[in-house]
Amino acid sequence: MARPDAIDWIGGFHAVEAALRERPERVERVALSGRDDRRARRLQALAEQAGVPVESRDEAWFDTLRSDGKPLRHQGVAARVALSQAGDEHDLSALLDAADEPPLLLVLDGVTDPHNLGACLRAAEAAGVLAVVAPKDRACGLTPAARKTSAGSAERLPFIQVTNLARTLADLKARDVWIVGAAGEGPVSLYESDFACEPVALVMGAEGGGLRRLTRERCDQLIHIPMAPSVESLNVSVASAVCLFEFRRQRLAAAG
């Protein structure tokens, strides 16, 4: 599963507060500028409660911070934290072996925009997904932008990067996981599907291009989201959320 083994800076009040509330054991230290407003005092109190040291730095120091080689957006607050890293095929197998209910997976076929990835992670966690799976190549990883957009989900939800997505889908099928691809031309409506009791991997295509040929060929079924005629498609993170929460609704209804 995702391992907290990379140290990096995160910036901004929301991100640092979330880290202190949800995973204080991973926060090495917090840096604050000279501001003395209510939000800064609240953050300092959170750090003190968690036993995390707070240091005062000037704005020029904050402007030298980098994350993933880019200037850090900081608002005068930053934290040095241990960030969860992507797992691999072995981690996915271990997750499936340990699952105590039919797993629900989200598979992203070449999503390259970090904000879309972050939003997908957030929706997936909210819908009770076991893990999010994506290829290592030609796809976005856990960049600072993706982590920030996920609002903490990137640190809690396993994110798996695989070498060969088509092979991974074949391995999932061998485990009796039903592979469901979302495509505009899918013959079955999302709302006519029934995955209440099935292990399911929902496969979403990349921005613009959709599902790749090999990925599409690995799908057991293609579904579409019924939409008004004036709308051709949805953002991948929105479409993922729509499908995942329909699957969750089905499972909650079946559970009584």
Q: Which residues are annotated as a binding site for S-adenosyl-L-methionine?
A: 205, 225, 234
| Sheet hosting strand 27-32, strand order edge to edge | 3-11, 77-85, 27-32, 54-56
Q: Which residues are annotated as a binding site?
A: 205, 225, 234
Nearest of 92, 127, 75 to residue 243 by alpha carbon: 127
User: Which strands, in side-by-side order, build the sheet including 221-224?
Assistant: 159-162, 131-135, 104-109, 200-205, 178-182, 221-224, 188-189
Structure tokens of 115? Answer: 């904000």
**Cα 201 from chain centroid (whole Å):** 15
Distance CA 143, CA 71 (A): 13
